[in-house]
Copies of this chain bind each other. A is one copy, B any other.
Amino acid sequence: MESIRNRRTIRKYKQQNISDELLNKILETSCRASTMGGLQLYSVIVTRSAEMKEKLSPLHFNQPMVKNAPVVLTFCADYNRTSVWCRNRKATPGYDNFESFFNAAIDALLVAQNFCTIAEEKGLGICYLGTTTYTPQQIIDVLNLPKLVYPVATITVGYPDEMPNQPDRLPLEAIIHNETYKQYSAEDIDRYYSYKESLEENKHFVEINNTETLAQIFTDIRYKKEDNEAASRAMLDALKNQGFID
């Protein structure tokens, strides 16, 4: 619990490799996560080569972690392996649908989070790349993912070469609801977001971006409606190409 409590995202790594032994031990233990029907509906693509990092880098908007980390992991929802098993065992798989995609995505994400927790406990640092959902088809092409395999998370990992501050979190009462969901009043929002809005670094963001509020940074600059809509189309197209939706 201390390891999770004190964690921070690490974006700068030492020029030190991670042994196969350590990486495999962490991955193997990560697979103890709950999984639907014990089927383990995921695969993990391990990227170590400079050539593959070069190809993946632009798909993650050239964030420097992709090239600088010794290891990049792409966690994929995978119903392909299970389907091959079924076909080889006189069973007819019925997993070319959205429900199956989502169940496999859940399986993959639980393992990805386990990986992060264990890696950090072992002294490694990770960065979770949110870019994977924006460029799925290009990642599919580069990693040669067959039908019924879809990338849901990318994690860079290495030995930390920085010690950044921990980012802020909303107070817990902003997150939990007792018995049923309670809609947020204006006063709730003020109370829950005041700390975040008061932070010097966030005030600085607002200043250098010339916005009036911190929220506008998110709506007008970082996660814009038109970008989200374009990414939605890209996701749905890629899910179709991978055989998960019609």
Contact = CB atoms under 8 A, between A and B. Distances in A.
A105 B184 CA distance: 20
A22 to B, nearest CB: 11
A218 B110 CA distance: 21
A51 to B, nearest CB: 8
A170 B133 contact: no
Nearest to A97: B232
Interface residues on chain A, size class: 35 or more
Copies, count = 2
A10 to B, nearest CB: 11
A208 interface: no
A18 interface: no
A156 B223 CA distance: 34
Nearest to A127: B34
Given A99-B229, A110-B112, 5 more contacts: A45-B181, A49-B179, A94-B219, A97-B232, A106-B133
